[in-house]
Chain A
Amino acid sequence: MAVPVQKTDNVTSLPSPKASAKPAEIVTLPARKSEGNGKKVVDRLKGIAATTVPPLLVLGVLLLVWQISFARPGASLPAPSVIWAEAKDLILDPFFVMGPQDIGLGLRVLTSLERVAIGFGLAAVVGVLLGALVGQSIWATRGLDPIFQVLRTVPPLAWLPISLAAFRDANPSAIFVIFITAIWPIIINTAVGIRNIPQDYRNVAQVLRLNTFEFFFKIMVPSAAPYIFTGLRIGIGLSWLAIVAAEMLTGGVGIGFFIWDAWNSSKLSDIIVALLYIGVVGFALDRLVAAIGSLVTRGTSAS
């Protein structure tokens, strides 16, 4: 009888350090509800502040350092105050249209995004299909994988001359560069995901006699979804890297060409504003794909 007594001792002593955060909530809620809610709001604000104040502080310090270092006349790069003075309209109004070549950066970003959407969309569809083939068939792996491994190391812009020659037009060439840049991580991650489908799921599919089409949509894609989305996330990042470089060379109205054009007319302030736009949009794209991924794969991670 000594053992159970010891056990209950352990049980009562164990949770107390863990639960130290919870009792406060449990005690305050029934006592005074309004105060509890007020405290909750304060807690939430504190949480938001904890994530937003440090980066804002660092940003402020960086801007200050930048301002001090480049404020003297004849400095090689413009200081933040100069950028604000010269490119205020670019920052404040992203969607103005003053003429065919004089439009807001928001509109330019949208043109670039359209190219990325087409190129990346094609890469996603083709990449997942090819990845499924490579992951499923040992012979496809043996035949295709070495080729993929060589081609994926080719830098995006190295494809541009050959695609210009093939398509004889700037826009499809830029889209092709996006496609060929984004497709490799999608293929490789999808293939890994397909190879990692547990044998149990394959057995279930076999017992049910699912055909290839049903197996692809009902077992393969959902099971490999976490891997597929890892590939898509890497792919969208690479696309965004590639589009700016490709547009510098192909021209048009994209954000990449804007930077090149600004460089040619020595508008350094405009370039820095454009860099900010590119960074923010790239960040947003990454988060968007990640969010879709976590929404789609919310069931698959745990079993």
Chain B
Amino acid sequence: MHAYLKLDHIDKSFVRGGQTTEVLKDISLTIDQGEYVSIIGHSGCGKSTLLNLIAGLTQVTAGAVLLENREVNAPGPERAVVFQNHSLLPWLTVYENVKLAVDKVFSGKKSRTERHDWIMANLDLVQMAHARDKRPSEISGGMKQRVGIARALAMEPKILLLDEPFGALDALTRAHLQDSVMDIHARLKNTMIMITHDVDEAVLLSDRIVMMTNGPAARIGEVLAVDLPRPRKRLDLVSDSRYIAAREAVLRFLYERHRLVEAA
């Protein structure tokens, strides 16, 4: 089975005022189609930078990102991003926000009514069809993030990139939304890469967890395969020994071997 997405010896450094800062060093990773991969690490380790590299929003310094054996170095709708702070356009309604993406990606490929149906189908998928005419300021944070997910899914991406998608939400809303994402993943079988700093979230959602060492020049420390059958139920997992073991492995990595040095 050849790799769907391949990160091939990626280095990333930023140059600011003549000073070069190495952020990522020699990142290599292959991700299969339909896989759910989480990237976890302490803040400042460059995990968001890694996601931006895959999205094409920033350029690699060395190495390459290969999607289906073709190099990607610019952003595009086949790698849709769910942003941490939802990034909905506040002057557009929920419907119009998704429409902006659908009209751009499917202009010429779908008729007007097909596009309308596709927008509504995606809003239905995240249970936000009832708020189609509301503006982002009129709905809650969790709802905004749902619309953000609907907008990303509506692009029919090969890979869905989620940048700490639940970071700004309260615990209950977060759990609810995690369940929704698991459900969507099970139904659509799309490839997802999620940045997170939440151990439970990573173990619950992922097929594999990529653990990053601390920066500067962060590397992939370990990759943990989460061997839990799907569909996963959060309550059943609480006492599951495999879940506990996976959780412990990630915690040990983060707080024993790669504890965040405050000076960094």
Binding site for B on A (CB under 8 A): 198, 200-201, 203-204, 206-210, 214, 218-219, 222-223, 225, 297, 299-303
Q: Do residues A303 and B136 form an inter-chain contact, with CB atoms below 8 A?
A: yes
Interface residue? B104 (CB, 8 A): yes
Contacts of B135 in A (CB 8 A): 299
Contact stretch, chosen from B89-97, B109-117, B179-187, B242-250 = B89-97
Closest to B79 in A: A207
Q: How far is the CB of A226 from chain B (nearest CB, A)?
A: 10
Q: Please judge, given known A-B contacts A208-B100, A303-B136, whether A203 and B87 are in contact too, CB under 8 Å.
A: yes
List of A residues within 8 angstroms of B80 by Cβ: 207
User: Do A303 and B104 have beta carbons less than 8 Å apart?
Assistant: no
Count contacts on B: residues with CB < 8 A to the other chain.
26
A-B contact count (CB 8 A): 61
- Check if B104 sits within 8 Å of A201, measured CB to CB: no
Q: Which of chain B's residues have a CB closer than 8 A to the CB of A222?
A: 89, 91
Q: Write the chain A residue with the least CB distance to B136.
A: A303
Q: Give the contacts of B7-64 with A (CB-CB under 8 A).
A: 55-57
Candidate in A218, A222, A301 with the most chain B CB atoms within 10 angstroms? A218
Q: Is the CB of A209 within 8 A of B100?
A: no
Contact of B81 with A207 in the complex, beta carbons under 8 Å: yes
Given contacts A299-B92, A303-B136, A303-B137, A208 and B101 within 8 Å (CB-CB): yes
Known: A209-B77, A303-B136. A203 touches B100 (CB 8 A): no
Bound together, the chains give a CA A200 to CA B105 distance in angstroms of 19
B137-A207 in contact (CB<8A):
no
CB neighbours of B155 from chain A (8 A): 207-208
Query: Are B87 and A209 in touch, CB under 8 angstroms?
Result: no
The distance in angstroms between the C-alpha atoms of A302 and B144, with both chains bound, is: 13
Give chain A residues whose Cβ lies under 8 Å from the Cβ of B92.
299
Q: Is the CB of B57 within 8 A of A204?
A: no
Chain B 80-130 residues near chain A, CB threshold 8 A: 80-81, 83, 85, 87-92, 100-101, 104-105
The minimal Cβ–Cβ distance linking B229 to chain A, given in whole angstroms, is 34
Of B55, B87, B135, chain A has the most CB atoms within 10 Å of the CB of B87
Bound-state Cα–Cα, A208 to B79, Å: 10
Minimum CB–CB distance from B248 to chain A (whole Å) comes to 32
- Whether A209 pairs with B104 at a CB distance below 8 angstroms is yes
Q: B79 — which chain A residues lie within 8 A by C-beta?
A: 207
Residue of B nearest to A218 (CB): B100
Asked if B221 is at the interface of the complex by the 8 Å CB criterion, the answer is no
With A206-B57, A207-B55, A208-B101 given, name 9 new contacts (CB 8 A).
A200-B83, A200-B85, A201-B89, A207-B75, A208-B104, A208-B105, A208-B155, A219-B89, A223-B89
Decide yes or no whether B167 CB sits under 8 A from chain A.
no
Inter-chain contacts of A300 with B (CB < 8 A)? 90-91
